[in-house]
Amino acid sequence: MTGFFSTGTLYKPFTSFRVNPSKFQGKPFEVSGNVMADIVLTDANFDEEVLKSDIPVLVDFYAEWCPPCKMLGPIIEELATEYQGKAKVCKLNVDQSQATASRYGIMSLPTIYFFKGGQPVKSLVGIQSKENFKTELDQLV
């Protein structure tokens, strides 16, 4: 057998997913500058940006190879714009910041954590509607 399927074909990544190609510059599931949130978190700046923040923080734990994370990217962008000055909206790449991802027990992607006063107060796993995120943020601001 030459691949994962009994048909003898090699495994191919799932690419028939429908996305807005303009969001991903015509390259499905490729991270580009347009899926960035207010703040890009790392192991080095997590404590300063999140735990010591005076305002609530939404942290999107994601990976570049994660299709649901790509789908969530535009929603995170919109939230960053809408809550500017009221809450921080951040992204943390779990492959590049494994210590922080491990500290919060991230097992599934995407995982969204909400922090207030330096403490995690809520987490959501998987694709959620923008309204769900807004409801959670509105309770914290």
For residue 42, how far is the Cα from the chain centroid? 13
Question: What single string gives the DSSP state of each residue in the chain?
Answer: --SSSTTSPPP---------TTTTTTSTT---GGG--SEEE-TTTHIIIIIT-SS-EEEEEE-TT-HHHHHHHHHHHHHHHHTTTTSEEEEEETTT-HHHHHHTT--SSSEEEEEETTEEEEEEES---HHHHHHHHHHH-
Active site residues per annotation: 66, 69
Contact 60, 76 (CB under 8 A): yes
